[in-house]
Structure 1
């Protein structure tokens, strides 16, 4: 059985070098050119799914791979509530809906790469994965005018190969620690409860802005208001990751 690691952590400021000894062997973190590279003792890059935060900081993330109906109402609700989020978009979707991508950028949200074809990377050959990431990267860069640095593999599926390939392409893999399950369309109240009842400081929350998530836009105002009442502040993933403590766990 294969094992990989998910790290809860934040990018560090340029020039900072931290060496942490943990679990049987040394785990080394270092900064090169302003980018944080995190390795286990066998040089396997790690993914971020949560940060360890003393403050009540939290990040809303939205995956988009198809449709043009639900994204705009979600953007309107985020703007109305003055919340910035991270949108992971597929390259193919970005090409089909450049006007929505432009609105995401205009509203100050962060854009991450969700792959081009939205296919499971763990079933693909290395070169197929690499080409898919590059194709999506170029499509997003052309439409958004920015170069994404965060990658969420399609469906959140990844293994050691995906982590290694992503790192070589200067991408940080982002997973999530809390699933709203909005993709199930369980009802607005259930979506709110899935997030608000289980939220912890440093959580990266998974939501969707594809047309398949029919109830997310209606749930957003209540998610935001409920978390704000609990003292939470909202950040993009990059902001959340910046200057955080590091915490690791082994995933089988």
Structure 2
């Protein structure tokens, strides 16, 4: 091939390369093959195509990156968990794009990025809510009485496909193992509400330790549950309570929104409170009462209408993201 033809061929291929770059879809290998270029030219052009594809993915990755949010101690809400960021896995995306048999949008693969500061790094502080960036809320059900409403509540949660977190008073649990097993069988999270429903701030250190530890051991021995959250009865606690729970391996959790269902308000009053006060990260306190049982279905509908997912306390307080498709190949950095 003479010099003039080589120059013309190079200009032709360079022009196609520029068009592909401008279009943002650098899939043009097949077109080159169809133009009857030699095999050697095709292989060279394939390499150029792959390089341009990788460059495009790297450029898009910068635009699509979402920075993680660090956990922090807030003056009002105390410990607030962090929230994972999101980034494109460039090599995995590049490989998937090369393996695509047909032209189309690039199949971006994402992975989560952990915050530099996580909830575990903050030390012993109470927790009243999840991160407001995470569009999830949680229903907390403290159980020390109200057996007659537990099965109706479980049935509603099943119907709405929602998992809640039940905090058991240890003395109740000891007498109601079978009912607790039914709650566990339905897939809900089981946690610690002390043993005899005391005012924790008024206890000696040894008694406070015993109240929490006794229920923790009961959960493990009777239900095989490795408990990690402690909800102080009546929301009563002091710094010693939080520290002692931490020594036992538990984080102290309270609530963002209280239904005050123990006063037996009309169900619509509870629903209105949920409508007005629940936001992303809210922990919603209720008990197995007639009011909450009657209000629960509409509570759930109202929360979902706000664009929030409902999860357990562990899910809501984790830093994991909720807005990534389940079938995306994700890895935590």
1:150-197 deviation digits (Å, cap 9, x = unpaired)? 000111111110111111111011111111111111111001111122
Runs of at least 5 residues in structure 2 that lack an aligned partner in the other structure: 1-74, 85-113, 322-333
| Highest RCO, 1 vs 2 (Cα 8 Å, sep ≥ 6) | 1
Runs of at least 5 residues in structure 1 that lack an aligned partner in the other structure: 20-28, 31-35, 40-44, 246-252
Counterpart-to-counterpart distance in 1, 2:280 and 2:83: 17
Counterpart-to-counterpart distance in 2, 1:218 and 1:59: 18
Q: Say which structure is richer in helix.
A: 2
Map of 2:316 onto structure 1: 240
Q: Say which structure is richer in strand.
A: 1
Q: CA RMSD in A?
A: 2.3
Candidates 53, 69, 72, aligned match of 2:148? 69
Counterpart-to-counterpart distance in 2, 1:157 and 1:231: 32
Matched, 1:230 2:314: no
Candidates 129, 135, 140, aligned match of 2:219? 140
Map of 1:9 onto structure 2: 81
Counterpart-to-counterpart distance in 2, 1:127 and 1:94: 22
1:38 and 1:244, CA in 2 relative to 1: closer, same or farther beyond 3 A? farther
Map of 2:196 onto structure 1: 117
Q: Indicate the larger mover: 236-245 or 167-176.
A: 236-245
Counterpart-to-counterpart distance in 2, 1:148 and 1:187: 33
Q: Which runs of 4+ in 1 moved over 6 A?
A: none
Aligned-residue offset at 1:4:
9.7
Contact 2:274/2:302 (<8 A) preserved: no
Matched, 1:58 2:137: yes
Candidates 240, 253, 256, aligned match of 1:177? 256
Task: Give runs of aligned pairs for residues 120-199 of structure 1, distance below 5 A.
Answer: 120-199=199-278
Contact 1:4/1:160 (<8 A) preserved: no
Contact 2:138/2:316 (<8 A) preserved: yes
Map of 2:122 onto structure 1: 38
Contact 1:4/1:159 (<8 A) preserved: no
Counterpart-to-counterpart distance in 2, 1:116 and 1:192: 30
Candidates 79, 87, 111, aligned match of 2:158? 79
Candidates 164, 170, 182, aligned match of 1:103? 182
Aligned-residue offset at 1:214:
2.1
1:215 and 1:231, CA in 2 relative to 1: closer, same or farther beyond 3 A? same
1:88-121 deviation digits (Å, cap 9, x = unpaired)? 1111111111111111111111111000001011
Question: Alignment partner of 1:140: what SS?
Answer: helix
Contact 1:58/1:232 (<8 A) preserved: yes
1:180-220 deviation digits (Å, cap 9, x = unpaired)? 111111111001111122111000011112xxx22111100
Aligned-residue offset at 1:227:
1.6
Normalised to the residue count of structure 2, the TM-score between the two structures is 0.62
Contact 1:149/1:170 (<8 A) preserved: yes
Counterpart-to-counterpart distance in 2, 1:162 and 1:97: 26
